[in-house]
Structure 1
Amino acid sequence: MTRDPNAPLPTPFEAATATPTLIPTSTFTIIPPIVTPLPVVLLARPYYTLYASVDYDNHRVAVDQAIAYPNQTGVPLNELVLAVEPMLYGNAFSLSALSVNGLPITNYSLTSHRLTVPLSPPLSPGGQVTLALEYDLNIPVKQKANTFGWLSYQTNLTDWYPFVVPYDPSAGWLLHDFMPYGEHLVYDASDFEVYLRFADPSSAPVVAAPALPEVSGEWTRYRLNAARTFAMSMSREFLVTESAVGSVVVRSYYFAGHEDAGAKMSFVGTQVVGLFEPIFAPYPYPVINVVELDYNDGQEYDGLCFLSSNFYETYDGDSQTNLVTIGVHEMAHNWWFGLVGNDQALEPWLDEAMAVYSERIFYEYTNPGLLDWWWQFRVNYFGPNGWVDMSIYDGVSFRDYTNAVYLNGATFLEDLRVRIGDGAFFAFLKDYAAQLSGRRATANDFFAILRQHTTKDISDLLAAYFVNPH
Structure 2
Amino acid sequence: MKQQIKRKLILCSIVLLSLTMSVAIEKLGLLNGTATVFSQRERQYKHPLNEYVIKAEFDSMEKLLVANQKLTYTNVSESSFQTLYFHLYPNTFKTEGTLPFNAGEINLAYPKGFEPGYIQISSVESSGEALNYVILGVGETILKVNLNQSLEPRAKIDLEITFTVKIPPARGRFGYGENTINIANWYPIAAVHDHRGWNLEPYYAIGDPFYSDTANYRVYITMSPEYTLASTGNIIKRENIGGKVLWTVEAKNVRDFAMIAGEKYKVLEDEVDGIKIKSYFIEDIYGDLALQTAKDAVKIFNKSFGKYPYKQLSIAAADFFIGGMEYPNLVFIDQSLYQEEQQEILEYVVAHEVAHQWWYGIVGNDQVNEPWLDEALTEYSTLLYYEKKYGEDVKENVYKNMVARIYHAYHTPGMESKEKIHRSLKEFENPHEYQALVYSKGAMFIGELRKELGDEVFFQIMKVYFDKYRFKHATTEDFIKLCQQVSERELQAFFSKWLDYNQE
Cα contact 1:185–1:343 (8 A) shared by 2: yes
Letter in 1 for 2:121: L
Structure 1 Cα separation of the partners of residues 490 and 53 of structure 2: 49
Mean CA deviation greater in 42-51 or 236-245: 42-51
- Cα distance, 1:178–1:216 mapped onto 2, change above 3 Å: closer
Contact 1:390 1:404 in 2 (8 A): no
- Following superposition of structure 1 onto structure 2, how do residues 302-341 of structure 1 map, counting pairs within 5 Å? 302-315=328-341, 321-341=344-364
**Counterpart for residue 466 of structure 1:** 499
Matching residue of 2:416 = none
Report the equivalent of 1:80: 84
Please tell me whether the aligned partners of residues 407 and 437 of structure 2 are also in contact (alpha carbons under 8 angstroms).
no
Distance, in Å, in 2 between the alignment partners of 1:452 and 1:104 is 51
In the alignment, the residues of structure 2 paired with residue 117 and residue 159 of structure 1 have an alpha-carbon distance, to the nearest angstrom, of: 19
Of 46, 60, 63, the match for 1:59: 63
Report SS of the residue matched to 2:325: strand
TM-score (norm 2): 0.80
**Paired residue for 1:362?**
385
Aligned to 1:268: 293
1:129-208 paired onto structure 2 within 5 Å = 129-143=157-171, 146-168=172-194, 170-198=195-223, 200=224, 203-208=225-230
Q: Which has the larger radius of gyration?
A: 2
SS at match of 1:141: coil
1:424-465 CA-to-partner distances (Å, cap 9, x unmatched) read: 110110110111111111111111111121123434422321
Give CA-to-partner distance per residue, 1:293-331, whole Å, 9 cap, x none.
Answer: 2312111111111112232124466xxx11111111111
Whether 1:291 and 2:316 are equivalent positions in the alignment is yes
Contact 2:364 2:472 in 1 (8 A): yes
- Give the counterpart letter for 2:199 in structure 1: L
Check conservation: 1:293, 1:308, Cα contact below 8 A. yes
Q: Measured at CA, do residues 97 and 383 of structure 1 come closer, stay the same or move farther in structure 2, by a change above 3 Å?
A: closer
Corresponding residue SS for 2:438: helix
Paired with 1:423 and 1:69, the residues of 2 have a C-alpha distance of: 42
What's the CA shift for 1:178? 2.3
Amino acid at match of 1:313: Q
What fraction of aligned residue pairs are identical, expressed as a percent?
24
1:164-197 superposed Cα distances (whole Å, 9 cap, x missing partner): 11101x3111121222211222100111111111
How far did 1:247 drift? 2.9
Task: Tell me the secondary structure at the aligned position of residue 427 of structure 2.
Answer: coil
Are positions 1:251 and 2:286 aligned together? no
Q: In the TM superposition, what whole-angstrom CA distance separates every residue of 1:175-221 from its partner, at most 9, and x where no partner exists?
A: 212222112221001111111112x4xx3300011222222765321
Q: How many residues align?
A: 418
Q: Distance in 2 between matches of 1:138 and 1:383?
A: 39
Among 235, 256, 267, the alignment partner of 1:213 is 235
Match of 1:26 in 2: none
> Aligned partners of 1:451, 1:188: CA distance in 2, in Å?
27
Query: Which runs of 5 or more residues in structure 1 are unaligned?
Result: 1-41
* Shift in Å, 1:67: 0.9
Q: Deviations over 1:120-153 (max 9, x none)?
A: 321100100111011111211114xx22112232
Q: 1:345 to 1:107 in 2, by over 3 A?
A: closer
- Scaled by the length of structure 1, the TM-score of the pair is 0.85
> Whole-Å Cα distance in 2 between the matches of residues 288 and 205 of structure 1?
19
**Residue matched to 1:21:** none
> Alpha-carbon deviations, 1:268-310, whole Å to 9, x = none?
1111111111221221322211111231211111111111223
- Maintained 8 Å contact 1:192/1:225: yes
Q: 1:371 maps to which residue?
A: 395
CA RMSD of aligned residues (A): 1.8
Task: Check whether the contact 1:210–1:285 (CA below 8 A) recurs between aligned residues.
Answer: no
Shifted more, 75-84 versus 217-226: the winner is 217-226
- Cα contact 1:291–1:305 (8 A) shared by 2: yes
Distance 1:125 1:216, change over 3 A: farther
Distance 2:273 2:469 in 1: 24
- The structure with the largest helix share of the pair is 2
- Cα distance, 1:434–1:87 mapped onto 2, change above 3 Å: same
Partner in structure 1 of residue 11 of structure 2: none
AA partner of residue 344 (structure 1): Q
2:146 corresponds in structure 1 to: 118
How far residue 106 of structure 1 moved from its aligned partner, in angstroms, is 3.3
> Which stretch shifts more, 411-420 or 208-217?
208-217
Q: Residue 389 of structure 1 contacts residue 468 of structure 1 at CA under 8 Å; is this kept in 2?
A: yes
